[in-house]
Chains A and B, each alone.
Chain A
Amino acid sequence: MKKMIKTTALVLAVFLLSFQLSIAQTAKTKLTFMGWGAEGRYHELFDATFKAYPELSAKYEMNYVMESDTLAKLRLQLAAGGSEVPDMMEINYSDTAEFASQGVFADLSKAAQPYQSNTMPEVMKLAQFNGKLIGVPIQTKTLIWFYRKDLFDQAGIDPAKIRNTEDFIAAGRKLHAKFPKSYIWNLGSQTQGYIIAEIASGNGARFFDAKGNYVIDTDPGVRAMLLDLKKIKDSGVVVDMNDWTPDWNKAFSDGTLASTLCAKWLADFIPDYAGKDLSGKWAMALWPSIAGAQGGSESGGSLFAVLDKSRNKAAAADILTKMWMTKKAYDAIRQTKTFAAWSPILKDAAAAPEARAIPYFAPGAFDTEMAALKQFKLFTFSPKYNQELKILLPYVDKCLAGTMSADDALKGAQKDMVQTLENALSQ
Chain B
Amino acid sequence: MTKNKTKRSKDGIEPYLFVLPFVVSFILFFMIPSAYSFVLSFYKYNGYSTATFVGFRNYFRIFGYWHFWESLVNTLVFYVGHFIPVFVIPFLLALALGSQKTKFRGLYQTLVFLPNIVSLVASALVFRILLGTRSGVINSLIGAHIPFLEDAIYMKMSVISLMVWHGFGWFFIVFLAGLTTVSEELKEAASIDGAKPYQVVLHITIPIMKPVFLFAIVMDMISTLKLFVEPQLLLGTSSNAKTIPQAGDTIITLLYDNLNNGVYGTASAIGWILFLIILGVSILQFRVLQVGED
Contacts and interface: CB of A to CB of B under 8 A. Distances in A.
Interface of A: 36, 68-69, 71-72, 75-76, 78-79, 82, 98, 102, 104, 188-190, 192-193, 241-247, 250-251, 256, 384, 386-387, 390, 393-394, 397, 416, 419-420, 427
B83 to A, nearest CB: 27
Given A241-B133, A242-B150, A247-B132, A75 B262 contact: yes
Nearest to B257: A390
Contact of A193 (B65, B147, B238): B238
B64 A419 contact: yes
B237 A242 contact: yes
A244 B47 contact: no
B67 interface: yes
A188 B150 contact: yes
B48 A245 contact: no
Given A193-B238, A241-B134, A427 B245 contact: no
A387 B238 contact: no
B135 interface: yes
A69 B237 contact: no
B61 interface: yes
B149 A420 contact: no
20 contacts: A69-B242, A76-B47, A98-B46, A102-B48, A102-B49, A188-B150, A189-B150, A190-B243, A193-B243, A241-B133, A241-B134, A247-B133, A384-B261, A387-B263, A390-B243, A397-B245, A416-B67, A419-B61, A419-B65, A420-B61
A245 B245 CA distance: 13
B166 interface: no
A192 to B, nearest CB: 7
Which 8 residue pairs of A and B lie closest in terms of their CB atoms, listed nearest first?
A: A78-B48, A79-B47, A247-B134, A75-B47, A246-B132, A394-B246, A189-B150, A250-B135
B82 interface: no
A427 B150 contact: no
Nearest to A386: B261
A312 B61 CA distance: 42
Interface string B221-245: 0000000000000001111111101
Contacts of A193: 238, 243
Interface string B97-118: 0000000000000000000000
Given A71-B262, A190-B150, 10 more contacts: A72-B259, A75-B48, A75-B262, A188-B237, A241-B134, A244-B238, A245-B133, A384-B261, A387-B263, A394-B245
Given A245-B132, A246-B136, A387 B257 contact: yes
Interface in B135-162: 135-136, 147, 149-151
For B136, B237, B266, which residue has the most chain A Cβ atoms within 10 angstroms? B237
B151 to A, nearest CB: 7
Nearest to B49: A427
A68 to B, nearest CB: 7
Interface in B259-281: 259-263, 266
B129 interface: yes
Contact of B238 (A76, A192, A394): A192
B272 to A, nearest CB: 17
Nearest to A391: B67
Given A245-B133, A394-B246, A419-B61, A71 B48 contact: no
B33 to A, nearest CB: 13
A188 B260 CA distance: 26
A190 B261 contact: no
B151 A189 contact: yes
Contacts of B263: 387
B262 to A, nearest CB: 5
Contact of A420 (B49, B65, B129, B147): B65
Nearest to B151: A189
Contacts of B64: 419
For B61, B133, B257, B259, which residue has the most chain A Cβ atoms within 10 angstroms? B133
A356 B67 CA distance: 49
A303 B231 CA distance: 31
